[in-house]
Structure 1
Amino acid sequence: MTFVIRAADRHDLSHLYEMAKLTGGGFTNLPPDRNALTAKLDRSAVAFGHDDTAVSDELFVLMLENNVTGEVRGTCQLFTHVGQKHPFYSYRLGTLTQHSRELSRTFRAEMLSLTTDLEGASEVGGLFLHPGERAGGLGLLLARSRYLFIRAHRPRFADRTLAELRGVIDEAGGSPFWDGLAGRFFGMGFQQADEFNAVHGHQFIADLMPKHPIYTAMLSDHARASIGLPHPSGRAAMRMLENEGFAFENYIDIFDGGPTMTVKTDQIRTLRDAQDATVVAVREGGSAEALVATGRLAAFRCAYARIGTTEEGVTLDPAAAAALRLREGDRVSWIGRI
């Protein structure tokens, strides 16, 4: 395997910008705006630059690089503590049950309530893989590398982790949820709001959105049907999250209505089941394929490897050892490839 996950640096701006232009809109954590992306890289550089164990509002950006050609083909992000600078709003889908004795009928109404329940959680997001690389398990490598990164820096992350999935966007680039709810209050279409969001964030939505519950019956059928559904391109990501232990607990994004998945951080499968070991040899012949991670902060690297296990530790194939910059005696974390 020639691909490796590494820390982003300021030279990755052009790579992020080119990938952002391929997202098709509505991808909040990867906007096609150079200033917004530069701010992300600057914020990430600060996070990688210190080893404070306190939980604070930080962002780490990771990149997927072809170790042979140097091409960058994917990215993902980790937020340590959301909602510290601005409230982290979500809609919670709930039910109000009422009974009428006179009519002998029970009425159940679905409602969307604005909430900050998820404030303080960590977030994994911003995962994008170049369309030309969507084979061979690279999406899984990107996704699971985030959990091995959390494991290596556990004190800096919260006890709960969330992942927001992009909601349904139609062929014209519009959002049924936005058009049916928020668009009525803001007087702008989804694409215009998406562009504003790329530069300023979606705090403007929270500031102006009505704070009282919204009855879903008042929305159009199209808008109501999109609540909690991921964008078609995000279905595989949703399955990967579910395999890690994430679940949909009726929280949705206030921007496009996409599902928000949550899990207790220490119950994330990759984080929980990974093992630590010493590299005892670099040689061919490993019988198992695994994700292997090493290093801390800016020195963090993760890749697929062929490994063999012994009582003393693990062996790695030479290509993976080179990609991960490992030698005999180095320490790694590893977990079998699913």
Structure 2
Amino acid sequence: MLFVRPARLADLDAIAQMARTAQPVLHSLPHDRDALEARIALSEDSFRADVDFPGEEFYLFVLEDGDTGRLLGTSSVVAAAGYSEPFYAFRNDALIHASRELHVNRKIHALTMSHELTGMSRLAGFYIDPSLRGDAAAHLISRARMVYVAMNRRRFTPEVFSLLLGVTDESGVSPFWEAVGRKFFGRDFREIEVASGGRSRTFIAEVMPAYPLYVPLLPESAQRVLGEPDPRALLAYEIHLEEGFEPDRYVDIFDAGPVLTAQVDRTTSVAASEARIVREAAGDANRTDGTDGADGAAHLVASDRAGEFRCVMATLPPLASSRSASPAQRGRARAAAPLDAAARAALGVQDGDAVRCVPLYRDEPQTEDDSMGDAS
């Protein structure tokens, strides 16, 4: 069974391999082994820390195959983007150019360098092994971090954002970078992508234009990709939308990829989650392919006992708010999370323990507050 857990220093070799092979580059996971080891150590310290408000913490998660012990994916959360240096993005603005004499009043689309996202919690470091088939594993490793955010609210800001890969061609060339970034840096996109360390380097403000860029003056190829996710990022884009993220007024400062934001209170991991009590289910009862079964629907199921966060995907009875469920079913759904032995082992729980359950696909918002609260 696949499950998500915090990364450990013992995972260094496997994570280093994923960081080297990931396309696009994971700038939140450096290729330098010593720097990567430091990032993992920071993550371990962050999970252990008693945190009352977000700061320099960094939380790294891995997707593990419980049968083989192999790591198949990563994702992370930066508690406060740009904690030590500002986080830079382009803000979409509309500038008015008017002349009473000529009877001209034009609204011109412009991009202005901004660090307004600085200090907000950020999702980063999403990687899934290409050998995995289907969307279930991608949903699990991406959305488990939002379940963790929902269970540990004080560790993160009320609003979170995610920066997705912008459009590049088969050679990794970004039309927007060629039209803008290369003019100022004189270097390839990949080189600056790695050096930027997550869009929080002083050299960005030193080299990139301080004045607005007028979009109509850019080549058409660059204009077309503004705010568009790369085809390789479409699955991640859809997963974010399912969680409750929406496109915002910002785009990436290098490749013009979309910036998605969400109010944590309105995400699926908060608004559609329930606290349930684990009950033993006989045999291999829980489907893990992300599809609904005859007896229930696909859910993310998470535990955080003594700070040992775990998350799996399992088929559970309908949520209490489901209109299609009978009164008896709704009563059982409130109380029980029937999990088979593999799911219980992956979560480190037993009969009678509490878990947080989040539907993979939300049909409607919850009307009752059944959340587990802040477990930090």
TM-score, normalising length from structure 2?
0.83
Q: Is the 8 A contact 2:85 2:200 kept in 1?
A: no
Cα distance in 2 between the residues matched to 1:242 and 1:72: 26
Aligned residue for 1:320?
343
Q: Which deviates more, 69-78 or 244-253? A: 244-253
Matches within 5 A, 1:275-294: 275-284=274-283, 287-288=295-296, 289-294=298-303
Aligned residue for 2:116?
117
Cα distance in 2 between the residues matched to 1:139 and 1:297: 26
Cα distance in 1 between the residues matched to 2:198 and 2:236: 25
Cα distance in 2 between the residues matched to 1:231 and 1:39: 30
- SS of 1:304's partner is strand
Q: Is the 8 A contact 1:150 1:271 kept in 2?
A: no
Aligned residue for 2:252?
253
TM-score, normalising length from structure 1?
0.92
Q: Is the 8 A contact 1:178 1:190 kept in 2?
A: yes
Unaligned runs of 5+ in 1: none
Aligned residue for 1:165?
164
Cα distance in 2 between the residues matched to 1:163 and 1:73: 21
Change (3 A) 1:242 1:310: closer
1:79 shift after superposition:
1.1
Aligned-pair identity (%): 31
Aligned residue for 2:143?
144
Amino acid at match of 1:334: C
Aligned residue for 1:331?
354
| Superposed CA offset, 1:81-113 (max 9, x none) | 122210111110111122334433332211111
Unaligned runs of 5+ in 2: 287-294, 318-331, 362-376
Change (3 A) 1:180 1:136: closer
1:197 shift after superposition:
3.1
- SS of 1:194's partner is helix
Q: Is the 8 A contact 1:152 1:296 kept in 2?
A: no
Amino acid at match of 2:218: L
| Superposed CA offset, 1:153-174 (max 9, x none) | 1111101100000112222222
1:61 shift after superposition:
0.3
- SS of 1:300's partner is strand
- SS of 1:183's partner is helix
Q: Is the 8 A contact 1:205 1:255 kept in 2?
A: no
Q: Is the 8 A contact 2:24 2:165 kept in 1?
A: no
Aligned residue for 2:59?
60
Task: Identify which of 289, 303, 313 aligns with 2:312.
Answer: 303
Q: Is the 8 A contact 1:307 1:317 kept in 2?
A: no
Change (3 A) 1:311 1:91: closer
Matches within 5 A, 1:252-271: 252-271=251-270
Q: Is the 8 A contact 2:158 2:263 kept in 1?
A: yes
- SS of 1:290's partner is strand
Amino acid at match of 1:263: A
| Superposed CA offset, 1:141-192 (max 9, x none) | 1122111101221111101100000112222222222221122112212132
1:13 shift after superposition:
1.8
Aligned residue for 2:83?
84
Cα distance in 1 between the residues matched to 2:28 and 2:341: 35
Q: Is the 8 A contact 1:112 1:215 kept in 2?
A: yes
Cα distance in 2 between the residues matched to 1:32 and 1:110: 37
- SS of 2:170's partner is coil
Matches within 5 A, 1:12-91: 12-91=11-90
1:36 shift after superposition:
3.4
Cα distance in 2 between the residues matched to 1:34 and 1:200: 21
1:35 shift after superposition:
3.4
Q: Is the 8 A contact 1:48 1:297 kept in 2?
A: no
1:297 shift after superposition:
7.3
Cα distance in 2 between the residues matched to 1:278 and 1:42: 33
Cα distance in 1 between the residues matched to 2:116 and 2:235: 26
Amino acid at match of 1:318: A
Cα distance in 2 between the residues matched to 1:296 and 1:177: 46
Change (3 A) 1:199 1:117: closer
- SS of 1:21's partner is helix
Tell me how large the CA RMSD over aligned residues is. Answer: 2.2
Cα distance in 1 between the residues matched to 2:60 and 2:334: 35
Cα distance in 1 between the residues matched to 2:99 and 2:72: 59
Amino acid at match of 1:221: E
Cα distance in 1 between the residues matched to 2:342 and 2:215: 54
Cα distance in 2 between the residues matched to 1:119 and 1:264: 16
